[in-house]
A = this chain, B = another copy of it.
Amino acid sequence: MRVDRFQNHAVLGFVDWTLRGVGQVVFQNNPLAGLVILAGLLVNSWIYAAICVVGVVASTLTAIVLKADKALIRDGLFGFNGALVALALVAFTSEDFRAGAIPSVAMLTYLICAAALTTMAFASIAALLGPHKVAPLTMPFVFVGWLFLFAVLKFDAIDAGPMAKPVSPDQFPYNAPYDLRTWYEGIGTSIGQIFFQDNWITGYIIIVGMAINSRISATMALLGAVIGTVVAVMFGGPEGAIRDGLFGYNAALTAIALGGFFLVLTWSSFLYAVFGAIVSAWLWASIAIFLKPIGMPVLTSTFVIVTWTMLIGQYAFKALVPVPPAEATTPEDNRRRYLEESERSQT
């Protein structure tokens, strides 16, 4: 499908870039994928869909005003962290996590500034990781999200109730039995939770959106969610947390990142991605327990920590074939280019 039609369009360009920004949350540089994902959010709650747009627009506009690199802006790379931080701020300050609440003016100002700051954080983290050819991933969002979530709870002008959403496994009962719903809802919601959507149908719509651009990435996302759920069940994690997709969303992201996107897909990197997904599931619990005393959610920190740990040293391991962020397009493309190159160098 030709999807680059509007990227350089004078008027529709900006729409194209922001839709790509939505897609980039799950590594899809494709406006149509972004549109389907946005529709997935809309199915769950129009408020979240709107907030997602506000966030991606705020951080992309900031990049334009600051005269950042145009190629990065057009690929939506300044947008996805803004979208996530806006969603997180609304999700964790709404009385009803599932549907979200319309933010006040003070809150809206606040979340727009947070989205703008992710643009600066993105540039800084990219500069720091540049020599290692590793991407900032969603660290700008996690970093800004944590900083802004703390303060929000203590300003009078922002009406934040006690956080309604459990943020740690030990806030769920430990004796609930696993059943079929644990599985199909847990796996779907794992994908939904990447966008703070407590809705398994939204999760499966996001998978469809991803598949438009890359079937390998969509498969890896699903595999990651399955691994997260299996690991949690095998190690006896609480059913409520599993069905809520909490063990799976970081695992899904790690599986996409390591499974073909930043490493050429081979049997070695496939197993590497599976290992990363298993570790992500465990460490979600770990970081949740660490953050619980201060009431802070994990966000996608586990995904970033595990993926960075497994990628920053990538050039030390000859069993892996790294793809520098600037060349990472889709797992399919990355692999094709690698095979072509290997062929050329053999003849």
Within 8 A of B (CB), among A277-334: 278-279, 282-283, 285-287, 289-290, 293-294, 296, 305, 308-320
Which residues from chain A sit less than 8 Å from chain B, CB to CB? 65-69, 106, 110, 113, 116-117, 120-128, 131-132, 143, 147-151, 153-158, 169-170, 174, 234-237, 268, 275, 278-279, 282-283, 285-287, 289-290, 293-294, 296, 305, 308-320
Contact between chains at B154 and A285 (CB < 8 Å): yes
Contact between chains at A69 and B316 (CB < 8 Å): yes
Given contacts A120-B310, A123-B313, A154-B285, 5 further A-B contacts (CB under 8 A): A67-B319, A116-B275, A124-B309, A127-B315, A147-B286
Within the complex, which residue of B65, B69, B122, B150 is in contact with A285, where a contact is CB–CB below 8 Å?
Answer: B150
Contact between chains at A289 and B154 (CB < 8 Å): yes
Contacts of A278 in B (CB 8 A): 113
Closest to A306 in B: B117
Which are the 8 A-B pairs with shortest beta-carbon distances?
A: A123-B313, A156-B236, A151-B286, A124-B312, A150-B286, A67-B318, A124-B313, A123-B316
Within the complex, which residue of B143, B235, B293 is in contact with A157, where a contact is CB–CB below 8 Å?
Answer: B235
CB within 8 Å for A66 and B285 given contacts A113-B275, A309-B120: no
18 A–B contact pairs at CB < 8 A? A67-B318, A106-B234, A117-B279, A121-B313, A124-B310, A127-B316, A128-B312, A147-B287, A154-B169, A154-B170, A154-B237, A154-B285, A155-B282, A155-B285, A156-B174, A157-B236, A293-B293, A293-B294
Contacts of A128 in B (CB 8 A): 132, 312
A147 CA to B285 CA, complexed, in Å: 9
CB within 8 Å for A279 and B315 given contacts A170-B154, A174-B156, A289-B150: no
